[in-house]
A and B are shown apart, each in its own frame.
Chain A
Amino acid sequence: MSVSNLTTQLKGGLDAPICLTWELTYACNLQCIHCLSSSGRRDPRELDTDQVKNVLDQLRDLQVFYINIGGGEPMIRKDFFEILEHAEHNNIGVKFSTNGTYITAENAQRLASMNYLDIQISMDGVDRETNDAVRGEGSFDTSIAAMNFLRDANFGPFKISIVMTRHNVDQLDAFKQLADSYGAQLRITRLRPAGRGADTWNELHPTQAQQRQIYDWLIAHGDNVLTGDSFFHLNAFGESLPGLNLCGAGRVVCLIDPIGDVYACPFVIHDQFKAGSVHDEGGFANVWRNSDLFLSLREPESEGACTSCGNYDSCQGGCMAAKFFTGLPLDGPDPECVIGAGESLLKNATMTLIPKPGMDHSRKVSVTIGGNS
Chain B
Amino acid sequence: MTVTLDSACELHPQVALRPEPFGALAYHYGNRKLVFLKHPDVVAVLQDVAAHDTLADTLIAHHVAPERWNSFVNALSSLETSEIIRVRQ
Interface residues of A (CB under 8 A from B): 1, 3-4, 6, 9, 14-16, 18, 63, 65, 91, 93, 116, 118
Contacts and interface: CB of A to CB of B under 8 A. Distances in A.
B27 interface: yes
A238 to B, nearest CB: 26
Contacts of B21: 15
Contact of B18 (A3, A9, A16): A16
A91 B16 contact: yes
Contacts of B32: 93, 118
Contact of A63 (B18, B23, B38): B18
Contacts of A15: 20-21
Given A63-B18, A91-B16, A18 B39 contact: no
A340 B34 CA distance: 36
Contacts of B34: 18, 65
Interface string B40-75: 100000000000000000000000000000000000
29 contacts: A1-B39, A1-B40, A3-B38, A3-B39, A4-B22, A4-B23, A4-B36, A4-B38, A6-B38, A9-B22, A9-B36, A14-B25, A15-B20, A15-B21, A16-B18, A18-B25, A18-B34, A63-B16, A63-B18, A65-B16, A65-B18, A65-B25, A65-B27, A65-B29, A65-B34, A91-B29, A93-B29, A116-B29, A118-B32
Nearest to A118: B32
Nearest to A65: B27
Given A15-B21, A93-B29, A116-B29, A6 B39 contact: no
Contacts of A3: 38-39
Contacts of A18: 25, 27, 34
Nearest to A62: B18
Contacts of B20: 9, 14-15
A133 to B, nearest CB: 33
Nearest to A93: B29
Secondary structure call for the A interface: loop
A245 to B, nearest CB: 15
A313 B2 CA distance: 36
A226 to B, nearest CB: 11
Contacts of A1: 39-40
A3 B36 CA distance: 11
A6 B18 contact: no
A191 B29 CA distance: 29
Nearest to B25: A18
Given A18-B25, A116-B29, A4 B18 contact: no
A3 B37 CA distance: 9
Contacts of B18: 16, 63, 65
Contacts of A65: 16, 18, 25, 27, 29, 34
Contacts of B40: 1
A5 to B, nearest CB: 8
A4 B39 contact: yes
Contacts of B23: 4
Contacts of A118: 32
A89 to B, nearest CB: 13
A3 B38 CA distance: 5
A216 B32 CA distance: 28
User: Which of A4, A6, A91 has the most chain B CB atoms closer than 10 A to its own CB?
Assistant: A4
A257 B18 CA distance: 25
B16 A6 contact: no
Contacts of A93: 29, 32
B1 to A, nearest CB: 25
